Amino acid sequence: MTEHLTVVNHPLVQHKLTIMRDKETSTAGFRRLLKEISLLLAYEVTRELDMTTTRIETPMQPMDAPTLDGKKLALISILRAGNGLLDGILELIPAARVGFVGLYRDPETLKPVQYYCKVPDHLDERICIVVDPMLATGNSSVAAIDLLKQSGAKNLRFLCLLAAPEGVARMKEAHPDVPIVTASLDSHLNDHGYIVPGLGDAGDRMFGTK
Ligand code: URA
């Protein structure tokens, strides 16, 4: 991908996102929409995957038909909210390998603290799609990508539902080689590190916790 930031302006994505932002939307509705929207965002983030051809025979004649090249993709979920994006993406890319990075945000410093990391092997040979619904300060995303690069990952993309300008700038500074795909670039972060207008706490909204 050539652009550092891609905002997916597709009408279906924007419509679903509006319902997700609405505070009256139920947990079940939020979760269903997140799954649907993640499928559409996954379509965009995989747009430029390398292709090769394979020899097949249609009922009419032999042909060299296009197929994905290289090792299976790696999806890396930043716990816990990243998991809400996994189901939809896996429906589109069922053979993908899946890894998890556990980071929580210290509420005082807003800095990420790592508590879990389990990722697929041969990351150096895979395209890694890192998923987290909210690119807020960018601290967790940068830390997760630091970790993945230490594990060998070279070809990474970042998929989120909403991005704040502060998070995009932080990612561009730390990881200019990692393209970001999102449904919206929102206005700013508030004093607590929440995206405005945003949708609140994505983890709480998808899991019904408060
Ligand atoms: N994480 C969230 O869940 N929401 C925000 O607005 C920012 C970070």
CATH of the domain at 195: 3.40.50.2020
What is the 3-state secondary structure of the chain?
CCCCEEECCCHHHHHHHHHHHCCCCCHHHHHHHHHHHHHHHHHHHCCCCCEEEEEEECCCCEEEEEEECCCCCEEEEEECCCHHHHHHHHHHCCCCEEEEEEEEECCCCCCEEEEEEECCCCHHHCEEEEECCEECCCHHHHHHHHHHHHCCCCEEEEECCEECHHHHHHHHHHCCCCCEEECEECCEECCCCCEECCCCCHHHHHHCCC
**Which of 166, 201, 204 for a ligand 1 pocket mutation test, highest count of atoms within 8 Å of Cβ?**
201
Give the Å distance between the CA of 115 and the centre of ligand 1. 19
In a domain, 52, yes or no: no
In a domain, 64, yes or no: no
> Which amino acids bring their CB within 6 angstroms of ligand 1?
81, 134, 136, 193-195, 198, 201-203
Residue nearest to atom 5 of ligand 1 (CA): 194
Give the Å distance between the CA of 134 and the centre of ligand 1. 5
Kindly report, residue by residue over 67-94, the tens digit of the pLDDT. Answer: 999 889 999 999 989 999 999 999 999 9
Query: For 187-193, what is the mean pLDDT?
Result: 95
In a domain, 69, yes or no: no
In a domain, 54, yes or no: no
Ligand 1 atom closest to the CA of 204, numbered from 1: 3
In a domain, 166, yes or no: yes
Q: For the chain, what is the domain count?
A: 1
Catalytic residue numbers, as ranges = 105, 109, 201, 204
Share of the chain above pLDDT 70, in %: 99
Kindly report, residue by residue over 149-159, the tens digit of the pLDDT. Answer: 999 999 999 99
- Domain of 169, in residue numbers: 5-47+74-207
In a domain, 55, yes or no: no
In a domain, 57, yes or no: no
